[in-house]
Structure 1
Amino acid sequence: MANEKNVQNLGSLRESLTGIETFYVVDYQGLSAGQLTRLRQDIRAKGGQMIVAKNTLINIALQAGGRDLSEALKGPSALVLAQDDPAGVAKTLSDASKANDRGIPTMKGGFVEGRAVDVRVIERLASLGSKQSLQGEFVGVLSAHLSNFVGILEAYQAKLGGGAAEAQA
C-alpha cells in the first residue's frame, strides 16, 4: 500500500507539471534556509516555481508526461518550473549559483519547450537575458529596418514625383 503523503505529493506534482514545457532540475543541497527562500522568491518574480520533492516522485510524474530525466535525478533534486520567462528563470538560477562561493544551486538538466536539454543549453539560455529585454531588442531591430524602408520609399517617390513635375514644365 502506498504512503498517503506520497500519493498526495505525486498528485500535486503532476498537477504542477500540467502544461509546463520548460523546467530545470537543480541540486540545491548546501543552501541555507534563508538562501533557499530568497531563491524561491527570485524564481517566483520571474514567473517560475521551485518544487522540492523526492526523486522517485519527480521521476514518476515526469514519466507520466512522457519525459525522462532519470539520469539527472541523482542526489537531492528540485524542479524549477519556468512558465513565463524560461531565460529569466535560468538566469536567476545562474546568478544565484555565481553569488554562492560553492556554486549552488547546480544545474543537472531539464526540458526546454518540450525537449530534453543538458546543462550547457541551460547555461546558454541563461546568458540570453530576460524575455522582455529580448523583445525590446527585437522591436528595436524591426523599427530600424522599417525606418530604412520608409526612407527608401520616400526617396523613390521624390524621384518619381520630381520627374513628372519637370516633364510638365
Structure 2
Amino acid sequence: MFDTKEVHRVANEKNQQNLSSLRGSLSGVDTFYVVDYQGLTAGQLSKLRKDIREKGGQLIVAKNTLINIALQDGGRDFADALKGPSALVLAHEDPAGVAKTLSDAAKANDKGIPAMKGGLVEGNRVDVKVIERLASLGSKQSLQSEFVGVLSSHLSSFVGILEAYKAKLEEGAGAPVDTSSAVADTEAVSAEVLSADAAPDDSAPEATV
C-alpha cells in the first residue's frame, strides 16, 4: 500500500526542482513564446525541440502552475495564456527564426500545432498577430543573406558602370585612363547603399504591451 504522505513529499520535491530549473532557464530571457503543443506525437515534439535548438532557442514543457509561478517571479503574468497543455519556447538568439520555426511546424500538420497563445518580445508582452508578423520576417541568417544579396547587386552594377566608363574613355583617347576618381565615387555610393540598407525598417511591427 502506498504511503500518501511520502507520495506527496516526493511530488513536492520534484515540483520544487522543476520550478528551480524553470527559474534558471528564464533568467535573463526577454523573448519567449507560449504555445499549445497538444496533439503533437513524441516524434514531432522531438523534432520541434531540435529545430528550435538549431535557432538558438529552447522548448520547455512543464505544468502551467509552475510556469506561471516562474514567470510571476520575474514580474510577468501569463495566467490568461496558460490554459490547457502549454509549453514555453525561449528565443535566446534569434526571435524571428524561432517564431518562424514554430509557424512552419504548425503548417506541417492539419491541426495547426503548435498553436501560439502569446509571448514576450524584447521585454514587451505581445499578442499572436505580432508573433505571426515576426515569423514572416524569417530568421536572422536569411535576413543577413538577403541584405548581402541586395548589396552585391548594387556593387555589381557600379563595377559594370565603371568598366564601361573606362573602356569608352580609353577608346576615345587612345590611352589608358586614370579611373581613381570613378573608383572613389563608386566607393562613396556603395557606402551610401550600405548605410541605407542597414537602416532600421520603420514598418516593422510594434510590440503590444
TM normalised by structure 2 equals: 0.67
Distance in 2 between the 1:22 and 1:33 partners?
A: 26
In structure 1, the residue matched to 2:116 is 107
Question: Which moves more between the two structures, 2-11 or 29-38?
Answer: 2-11
Q: CA RMSD in A?
A: 2.4
Q: Find 2:14's aligned residue among 2, 5, 26.
A: 5
Is 1:46 the counterpart of 2:30 in the alignment?
no
Is 1:82 the counterpart of 2:82 in the alignment?
no
In structure 2, the residue matched to 1:165 is none
User: What are structure 2's unaligned runs of at least 5 residues?
Assistant: 1-8, 163-179, 186-209
Q: Find 2:30's aligned residue among 11, 21, 33.
A: 21
Larger relative contact order (Cα-Cα within 8 Å, sequence gap ≥ 6): 1
Identity of aligned residues (%): 77
Query: How far is 1:140 from its partner?
Result: 4.8
Is 1:96 the counterpart of 2:105 in the alignment?
yes
TM normalised by structure 1 equals: 0.82
Give CA deviations for 1:33-71 in whole Å, capped at 9, x if unaligned: 111111111111111110000111111111111112111
Equivalent residue letter for 2:99 = A
Q: How does 1:23-38 map to 2 (within 5 A)?
A: 23-38=32-47
How many residue pairs match? The answer is 154
Stretches of 4+ aligned residues off by more than 4 angstroms: 139-143
User: What are structure 1's unaligned runs of at least 5 residues?
Assistant: 159-169
Query: How far is 1:142 from its partner?
Result: 5.7
Q: How does 1:106-145 map to 2 (within 5 A)?
A: 106-141=115-150, 144=154
